[in-house]
């Protein structure tokens, strides 16, 4: 029988990589939220580091791009303690968060039970996660980070707790079923998203990796299905600047995609969007043409990421600086 060479799994002390939580680990985590999002089943988009809450500061504030809920992350490179649990609840209240994430290198059973208790006794708009941080390597290899989900919302395995909007009609149920299939295919086959639980709404936003810009799928009015790049970084002028930068490359972009797009600057509104349109398509059609419609969206979202993705960094660097207030002398 041939000999099989196997490596030895080794635990690495997290502080050997990040000596200080605030100075070393928090900035690293803020730039690697995809890894945390994959463990949680959420697409995370960073908003702020050290977000102020009164005289305190939350480690990381982010956004769930699918539900648009505010996410807060509190981390510690030590065993869970009462102080961090209190901070977590304080930050959740101060920032009106919908998703609360507590990361620690070791988890006390009492604190796991506390997070389970909060998930059982809070409403469907509020989800608590407790994550154990582990760093491993095999026989001296480079270290790898593992986020182990230790406590999560009760129904998170497949259909995470829904927001306050309930399933009130066949149409909303159809949206949820359609987007669940789309989401699963994009996640499992293409690693396009971390999202795991579809919700009963007519649109879905997927992270582009650039804050304020998403790849959207939307059943729009007029029997139209859209695959789109949606631009909303929070202010009108930057949105229009990003749009104009991309519009100046319209010929090259449409050539790469192989089709004409609908370019909507939406003057008078804050956001902008660039869309591929499938006409005469509603969610009702998904019952008979679900596979075909889903494949159309999958291909267009992947193409949008391939073509627009490399252009977004340059487009966002053209954002004009805000005008300084005039000073009278």
66-109 pLDDT tens trace: 888 999 999 999 999 999 999 999 999 999 999 999 999 999 99
Residue 186's closest CA among 207, 168, 166?
A: 207
Question: For 137, phi and psi rounded to 5 degrees?
Answer: -150, 165
Flag whether 294 is in a domain.
yes
At residue 156 the predicted structure's pLDDT band, cuts being 50, 70 and 90, is low
| C-alpha distances out from residue 199 to 1, 151, 159, 204, Å | 52, 21, 8, 9
Strands (E), the chain: 9-12, 44-53, 56-64, 70-79, 99-106, 127-138, 144-151, 203-207, 213-220, 224-231, 262-264, 272-279
Flag whether 164 is in a domain.
no
Q: Mean pLDDT across the stretch 126-141? A: 93
Q: Are residues 300 and 209 in the same domain?
A: yes
SS3 3: coil
What percent of the chain has pLDDT above 90?
67
Instruction: Tell me which of 115-119, 150-154, 292-296, 324-328 is least confident.
Output: 324-328
218: left (phi over 0), alpha (psi -120 to 50) or beta: beta
| Token couple for 16 | 């050997």
Q: Are residues 252 and 135 in the same domain?
A: no
Residue 225: beta bridge partners? 219, 278
d(CA 124, CA 94): 19
User: In whole angstroms, what separates CA 42 from the centre of its chain?
Assistant: 5
Domain encompassing residue 311: 170-316
Q: Are residues 174 and 301 in the same domain?
A: yes
Q: At which of 116, 151, 186 does a domain end?
A: 151
**CATH code, 232:** 3.30.1460
DSSP single-letter state for residue 211 = T
d(CA 198, CA 64): 13
Domain count, the chain: 2
Q: Are residues 33 and 116 in the same domain?
A: yes
SS3 276: strand
The DSSP secondary structure of 155-192, one letter per residue, reads: TTTTSPPP-S----SHHHHHHHHHHHHHHHHHHHTT--
Residue 65's closest CA among 239, 158, 204, 271?
A: 204
**Quick check: 158 pLDDT over 60?**
no
Contact 283, 202 (CB under 8 A): yes
- Helical H segments across 224-285, by residue range: 236-247, 250-257
pTM: 0.72
At residue 3 the predicted structure's pLDDT band, cuts being 50, 70 and 90, is confident
Q: Are residues 101 and 220 in the same domain?
A: no
Question: For 35, phi and psi rounded to 5 degrees?
Answer: -65, -40
Residue position matching structure tokens 């202010």: 235
Q: At which of 122, 151, 180 does a domain end?
A: 151
**Quick check: 306 pLDDT over 50?**
yes
d(CA 111, CA 109): 5
d(CA 15, CA 24): 9
At residue 5 the predicted structure's pLDDT band, cuts being 50, 70 and 90, is confident
């Amino acid at each position: 029988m041939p000999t099989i060479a196997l490596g030895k799994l080794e635990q690495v002390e997290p502080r050997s990589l990040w000596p200080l939580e605030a100075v070393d680990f928090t900035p690293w985590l803020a730039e690697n939220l995809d890894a945390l999002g994959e463990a949680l089943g959420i697409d995370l988009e960073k908003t702020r580091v050290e977000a102020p809450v009164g005289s305190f500061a939350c480690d990381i504030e982010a956004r769930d791009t699918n539900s648009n809920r505010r996410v807060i992350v509190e981390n510690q490179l030590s065993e869970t303690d009462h102080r961090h649990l209190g901070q977590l609840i304080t930050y959740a209240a101060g920032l009106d968060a919908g998703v609360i994430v507590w990361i620690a290198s070791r988890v006390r059973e009492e604190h796991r039970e506390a997070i389970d208790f909060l998930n059982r006794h809070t409403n469907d708009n509020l989800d608590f996660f407790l994550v154990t941080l582990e760093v491993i390597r095999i026989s001296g290899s480079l270290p790898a980070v593992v986020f182990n989900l230790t406590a999560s919302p009760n129904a998170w395995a497949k259909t995470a707790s829904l927001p306050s909007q309930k399933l009130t009609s066949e149409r909303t149920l159809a949206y949820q079923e359609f987007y669940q299939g789309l989401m699963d295919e994009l996640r499992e086959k293409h690693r396009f998203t971390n999202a795991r639980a579809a919700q009963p709404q007519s649109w879905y936003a997927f992270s582009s990796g650039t804050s304020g810009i998403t790849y959207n799928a939307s059943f729009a009015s007029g029997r139209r299905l859209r695959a789109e790049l949606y631009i909303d970084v929070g202010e009108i002028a930057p949105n229009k600047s990003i749009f104009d930068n991309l519009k100046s490359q319209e010929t090259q972009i449409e050539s790469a995609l192989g089709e004409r797009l609908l370019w909507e600057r939406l003057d008078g509104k804050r956001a902008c969007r660039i869309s591929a349109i499938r006409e005469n398509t509603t969610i009702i059609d998904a019952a008979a043409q679900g596979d075909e419609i889903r494949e159309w969206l999958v291909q267009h979202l992947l193409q949008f990421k391939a073509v627009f993705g490399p252009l977004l960094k340059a487009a966002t660097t053209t954002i004009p600086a805000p005008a300084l207030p005039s000073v009278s002398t």
